[in-house]
Amino acid sequence: MKEEKVQKKKVKQAIEKGNMDGARIYAQNAIRKKNESQNYLRLASRLDAVSARMDTALKMNKVTKTMGNVVGSMDSILKTMSVEKVKNPKKKKN
């Protein structure tokens, strides 16, 4: 962005001096710098998107592991409990 502005100033100065060939070269440089800037912004956006997807994948992986542990714990608890107690829990007496 800064380089683009510098090149634009050079274009203006070259035109004021009547140096059209130099102005054309500076204008091409300014256009190239602007395109480079836009390409860097696109790349940064893509990297942010990939980073967000990676972060989501890591979180989902943790959730999956935790759920696996919970299911394993529940399985072992259910094996130690009787089915009748699970189906018909004792009612509280008033």
Neighbour-count burial for 54-76, b at 16+ CB within 10 Å, e otherwise: eeeeeeeeeeeeeeeeeeeeeee
pTM for this one?
A: 0.58
For 47-59, give the DSSP string: HHHHHHHHHHHHH
Task: Write the pLDDT tens digit of every residue in 45-61.
Answer: 999 999 999 999 999 99
Contact 33, 7 (CB under 8 A): yes
Provide the pLDDT confidence category of residue 23 given band limits of 50, 70 and 90.
Answer: very high
Both tokens assigned to 70: 């919970």
Res 34 pLDDT > 90:
yes
pLDDT in tens, 74-94: 887 777 876 666 666 665 555
State the Cα angle at 74 between 69 and 76, rounded to 5°: 100
